[in-house]
Structure 1
Amino acid sequence: MPNERSNFYAWNLGLPIAIALAIFVVFDLTSLDEVISNWLYYPNHEFPFGHNRLFENLTHRWPRIIPDLTGEAAIIGSILSFIWPLLKPGRDDRLLTALERLRIAPLLRFTARHRRDFLFIVVSFAVITGMIHFFKSHTSIYCPVETTLYGGAMEKKEWFENFRMFHEAGPGRCWPGGHASGGFTMVALYFVARRYQWRHARAILYASMVLGAIYGTTRVLQGWHFMSHTFWAGVIVWISALLTALAFYGWRQLAPSTEATPSAFAAVAR
């Protein structure tokens, strides 16, 4: 048991912290962000897709449908989950029969059985969004195209130079990457998969990280973010989702057990 707990925290807390330290050393303490953006910006003095409407739609507006639909489905599932327990055999036989014929009953039973999971996704998305907005407003970092480095009027600063814990630091809203965080929020599904010990849980984690990285990189190509903004968004989202999952499930339901049986899985699902 202690080994399972150690492995769980090493992977889900230790790893993102290690990544955060690496980002801080490799990007925040160097000029690597500027090197990457300079390579994209020069020699034409504009970012390659900064004013491309099709690229904006393909990479920024339309991809939002993935986290948006996931969140909306979780909200609907959470609401539906309260319906089935209200229906009583004997009192609501006609309604129950109609729901079975319309094949709505299986959906209601499913949502009731997984109410905690739907609520977790809703709360996790809300917590993640709140954390991203907190850091954006309490660091007041400007986007590359807004800085004097790339034709703007604002000074480029690092987030740790401008961080304010108890009040907003200014009007800048570029750190961490908001669009990237939308892709990274899908990591919430990874913790649901861990709860049921689905063998593809880590595949969901990797897919979430790749999705967020793609979202963020497209904004780098447009000059709206430095590369480190994407990586920081991933770390903040991962840790926020982890803390929310621990609050909902506890580490024992999230850590894989070598002694788990199918009946144990069924017990968790109820």
Structure 2
Amino acid sequence: MNRSLSYHWVMPLPLLLIATYLLDVQGLDLRLADAIYAFEGNSWNLQDSWLLETVIHKGGRMLVGALILLNLGALASTWLSQSMRSYRAGLGYLFGAVITSLLIVSGLKDITHISCPWDFQRYGGEQFYAPIVNAIFGSGTVRCFPAGHASGGYAWVALYFFCRLYKPQWRMAALSVGLLLGMAFGLSQQFRGAHFLSHDLWTLAICWYTALASYQWLFRHRTAAA
């Protein structure tokens, strides 16, 4: 493994495991959701709010779609403009990493069948609560883990590696774009009762490792030289 990338692999994993233990096993997920639920009057009153549902949820999907189209347009321009040609590999990587992240999250939702907060009796639903570590790979039709909407933001942590190729001094700012977009999408869904915080953290981890693995595989010769 390239030494300059090794900490990108190693550092997030223990943080994710510690966070999962605190949130899921020790019940911090529930305490945070309890606070949000109480704030809304012991009901998910913001579930259908204009800001969270129309602007951030539906509008967020449109924004992610527009960003993907912008990425594709920039990639297409590398065959039309000599000055853009040097960005072809990076733009192709960015598109592939984002799409792969979204597909992985969507695929996992189809097999994990973990419920949303609003499904549990604790919050007015019909199901008994079960932690992720107990409920994962269960049976049913619910699709609440990982967090699909948050993945539309967190998938863009791939911008960090794109900038690492061309503008290393911008890589932390680029990472912040993906993190802030994912946090905005994730928090809005938490206030709607659609996800726990742990769902979003796992989504971020999936997007990060997808972007990292894609980067190292596609540019393994370049990273080895570095």
> TM-score, normalised on structure 1?
0.75
Q: Distance in 1 between matches of 2:77 and 2:166?
A: 21
Q: Distance in 2 between matches of 1:239 and 1:251?
A: 19
Query: Match of 1:21?
Result: 17
Query: Match of 1:214?
Result: 184
Of 211, 214, 225, the residue aligned with 1:241 is 211
Q: Distance in 1 between matches of 2:203 and 2:212?
A: 14
Query: Match of 2:194?
Result: 224
Q: Distance in 2 between matches of 1:111 and 1:64?
A: 28
Q: Distance in 2 between matches of 1:42 and 1:18?
A: 32
Greater fraction helix: 2
Pairwise mapping of residues 66-145 of structure 1 onto structure 2 (< 5 A)? 66-82=63-79, 84=80, 108-145=81-118
What one-letter code is carried by the residue in structure 2 that aligns with 1:155? F
What one-letter code is carried by the residue in structure 1 that aligns with 2:101? I
Query: Match of 1:152?
Result: 125
Would you say the 8 A contact 1:190–1:205 is kept in 2?
A: yes
In the alignment, structure 1 segments of 5+ residues that lack a partner are 85-107, 258-270
> TM-score, normalised on structure 2?
0.88
What one-letter code is carried by the residue in structure 2 that aligns with 1:191? F
Of 24, 27, 31, the residue aligned with 1:31 is 27
The answer to whether the aligner puts 1:60 opposite 2:57 as a matched pair is: yes
SS of the counterpart of 1:49?
A: coil
SS of the counterpart of 1:185?
A: helix
Query: Match of 1:265?
Result: none
Query: Deviations along 1:74-122, whole A, 9 cap, x unmatched?
Result: 222333434x4xxxxxxxxxxxxxxxxxxxxxxx224433221221122
CA gap of 1:9–1:42, structure 2 versus 1, over 3 A, is same
Query: Match of 2:135?
Result: 162
Q: CA RMSD in A?
A: 2.3
What one-letter code is carried by the residue in structure 1 that aligns with 2:148? G
CA gap of 1:47–1:254, structure 2 versus 1, over 3 A, is farther
> Number of paired residues?
225
Would you say the 8 A contact 1:28–1:158 is kept in 2?
A: yes
In the alignment, structure 2 segments of 5+ residues that lack a partner are none
Displacement of 1:24 in angstroms is 1.6
Identity across aligned pairs (percent)?
Answer: 24
What one-letter code is carried by the residue in structure 1 that aligns with 2:162? V
CA gap of 1:155–1:110, structure 2 versus 1, over 3 A, is farther
Displacement of 1:254 in angstroms is 8.8
Query: Deviations along 1:135-181, whole A, 9 cap, x unmatched?
Result: 212210111112222111233333332334xxx84311111111111
